[in-house]
Chain A
Amino acid sequence: MSGKGLIIGGAVGLVAIITVYSTLYTVSETEQVIITQFGEPMGRAITNPGLHVKIPFTQEVNVFEKRWLEWDGNANQVPTRDKKYIWVDTYARWRIADPLLFFQRLHDERGAHSRLDDIIDGETRNVIANHNLIEVVRTSNRAFEQAEEIEDVMEAEEMRKVELGRDKITRLILERASKVVPDYGIELVDLQVQRVNYIETVQAKVFDRMISERKRIADRHRSEGQGKSAEIRGKKERELKVIESEAYRKTAAIMGRGDAEAASLYAAAYNQDKELYKFVRTMETYRTAIDKDTWLVLSTNADIFRYMQSPSASTR
């Protein structure tokens, strides 16, 4: 082989390799491809992965993502309909649904991001500004469970019924934004409100309100404690009275019954001989009535002194 032949062979080989590289191209699982010929798009997007063939040199491969792509919005300061200033942070996921259109209108993802910023931020503002804060925060009208049997201490305004709720609000933003994006070959697959927070000054006020709310709850607990304990003391007093009076009633009844039975026993016995009873009882009384301080002034006419005057029987 001559040197010239070697050089020619090498050149041909190089051209062949370049041609093969320019003819074959791969599409991965995550990609979709638009073939352009001198800048003019040729046919539909190639979405099935694997090895593909194109006309070398004149055709160019333009690769686009097939996966869902990120879009993470910046936090927007938005006033709600009830004039609460909040930060709203949304995120969305989108995909290139029509690569050709996407290529024509936006060229690349950077273009898409700036367009999505405009559309989604705008719709978010519109929707949030048209609804009360509670609609963005709550999802349903479920009643809160009350811990520690505290009645609701919330202000009536905050307990306003939810008409749409967070889910429907996000659906609404998604729907509205989705109306515009097909023009760019984009499909919005999902959108979520990631964060909602008060702006600084509002937050300070909310903290103040929370503090006063807690104070109110604390006061309620305390006075409830005092009330309950007073109630228990009252119950105690009442029961004490009940117990004491009951006892008095019972003792009186029992003693009365004893007295009555005794009286009837006495009556039954003494009725048998009233005269004797009087006599015996009188004698009893003498025994108890006369003591050392008693002055006895007795006449000699008394029965006991009868024999002092005459020993004979029956002088009287």
Chain B
Amino acid sequence: MSNRPYDFDPNELQQMLRDIGGRALASRRIVAWAAAGVVALIGLWGSYYQVEPDEVGIVTRFGKFVRTTNPGPHGKIPFGIERVQKVPVERQLKQEFGFRTVRADINSTFRKDAKTSSESLMLTGDLNVATVEWIVQYKISDPYKYLFKLRDVDETFRLMAEATMRTVVGDHSVTELLTVGREEIATKAKLMLSDLCRLYDNGIAVQQLVLQDVDPPELVKPSFNEVNQAIQERERAINEAWAEYNQEIPRSRGLAGQKIEAAEGYALDRVNRAKGDADRFLALAEQYRKAPEITRSRIYLETLSDVLPRAGKKLIFDEKAKGILPLFPLGGGVKGSEVAQ
């Protein structure tokens, strides 16, 4: 040891160590305080949390569910002993099927792609194909079940919604789906989906299921439109026929009424004239009975004096002068005036 090339004093070393120890002791205090400070800060930070108005907080201690907290500021045990999961129970949640809203605005923009079109394409009960787009609105009714009952609740919910919608559509004809059955299908699908949620016990309450665009497949669309057109044509043909009917029947009724009125008039005319003639005759007959001879002669003479001047040609001959007649030329050349008067 003594022949070491450099000088070594054990006392010096001891002193040196003591010095380091002293300094270390001093710095250890600082480190300890700093560490305590950091721990306290982390603890403080970790024991405060806030629940937003549309949420509730689900608190677990060592993984075990201990309490549900309402909106507002809250405290919990820090350092990962108590953990909080916030669940938006008041929020109206929505899932879209067959399309996606890209931007909800006054004029919302939608997107459709291969994925969404495979969501909407489905078979109807008459083994036809249709595309159905719909939305489901729901709320988380039981946050405990929502968190701890199923893994990936939302994706499961989508699958459930697709399966139920296809089941309901599969029991309706394509015509029903496109026309009269929409309401019924939405109602049935909502009921079924609610039942399935109850079976899965996933803490979701379905609030509304609304059918959006329901169409025949793109390739088939024109022929569906043709049916609509044909229905229009049918209605038009029927309406035109009724229009004709409505035009002609009342007119014909009117004409018939007119004819009947005219007949009534004729009958009345006949009767009145008959009455008049009869009265006139009776009146004459009454006077005639008082002086038959003179009345008769008067009428006779009056008539003749009236009638005779009217005749175009008059030929008066004596019965005794026979053979005169053939002497008269009966042609057009004979002038009435030559002979008569």
Contact = CB atoms under 8 A, between A and B. Distances in A.
Tell which of A225, A239, A252 has the most Cβ of chain B within 10 Å: A225
Interface stretch (B3-11, B31-39, B44-52, B225-233): B225-233
Interface residues of B, number: 116
A121 B231 CA distance: 46
B271 A262 contact: yes
Contact of A210 (B167, B223, B231): B223
Interface string B246-257: 001100110111
A120 B264 CA distance: 93
A187 to B, nearest CB: 14
Given A158-B127, A197-B123, A232-B242, A295 B315 contact: yes
B215 to A, nearest CB: 12
A146 B284 contact: no
Nearest to A189: B200
Contacts of B214: none
A242 to B, nearest CB: 9
Nearest to B201: A68
B311 A192 contact: no
Interface in A34-86: 48-51, 65-70, 72
Nearest to B224: A214
Interface string A124-162: 000000000110011110101111101000100011000
A125 B241 CA distance: 58
Given A218-B229, A258-B270, A279-B296, A195 B303 contact: no
Given A134-B127, A154-B126, A272-B282, A28 B234 contact: no
A133 B123 CA distance: 10
B137 to A, nearest CB: 21
Interface stretch (A15-23, A98-106, A177-185, A280-288): A280-288
A148 B147 contact: no
Interface in B43-84: 60-65
B122 interface: yes
Interface string A259-301: 1011101101110110011011001001100111111111111
B160 to A, nearest CB: 7
A261 B166 CA distance: 84
A269 B267 CA distance: 19
Interface string B16-50: 01000100100000000000000000000000000
Contacts of A175: none
Interface residues on A, range: 35 or more
B268 interface: yes
Given A221-B227, A269-B282, A137 B127 contact: yes
B12 interface: no
Contacts of A190: 199-200
Contact of A299 (B172, B220, B317): B317
A237 B129 CA distance: 46
Do most interface residues of chain B lie in helix, strand or loop, or is the interface mixed? Answer: helix
A305 B253 CA distance: 63
Contact of B127 (A66, A206, A272, A294): A206
Nearest to A196: B123
B249 A239 contact: yes
B304 A304 contact: yes
A311 to B, nearest CB: 16
A253 to B, nearest CB: 8
Given A72-B159, A207-B220, A255-B266, A265 B307 contact: no
A226 interface: yes
B260 A296 contact: no
A262 B241 contact: no
Contacts of B219: 207, 211
Tell which of B152, B217, B229, B231 has the most Cβ of chain A within 10 Å: B231
Contacts of B129: 197-198, 203, 206-207, 210
B172 A144 contact: yes
B180 A145 contact: yes
Contacts of A108: none
B171 interface: yes
Contacts of A292: 310-312
Interface stretch (B107-115, B204-212, B272-280): B272-280
Contacts of A171: none
Interface string A199-228: 000010011011101110111111011101
B180 A147 contact: yes
A233 to B, nearest CB: 5
A216 to B, nearest CB: 9
Given A225-B234, A295-B315, A29 B306 contact: no
17 contacts: A51-B62, A67-B151, A147-B180, A190-B200, A211-B223, A215-B223, A222-B233, A225-B235, A228-B241, A247-B256, A255-B270, A258-B271, A262-B274, A295-B314, A297-B317, A298-B316, A301-B319
Interface of B: 17, 21, 24, 60-65, 118, 121-129, 147-152, 155-156, 159-160, 162-163, 166-167, 170-176, 179-181, 199-200, 216-217, 219-220, 223-224, 226-227, 229-231, 233-238, 240-242, 244-245, 248-249, 252-253, 255-257, 259-260, 262-264, 266-271, 273-275, 277-279, 281-282, 284-285, 288-289, 296, 299-301, 303-304, 306-308, 310-319
A-B pairs, top 4 by smallest CB distance, nearest first, are: A258-B267, A225-B234, A28-B63, A247-B256
Interface of A: 2-3, 26-31, 48-51, 65-70, 72, 91, 93, 133-134, 137-140, 142, 144-148, 150, 154, 158-159, 166-167, 189-190, 192-198, 203, 206-207, 209-211, 213-215, 217-222, 224-226, 228-233, 235-236, 239-240, 243-244, 246-248, 250-252, 254-255, 257-259, 261-263, 265-266, 268-270, 272-273, 276-277, 279-280, 283, 286-287, 290-301, 304-305
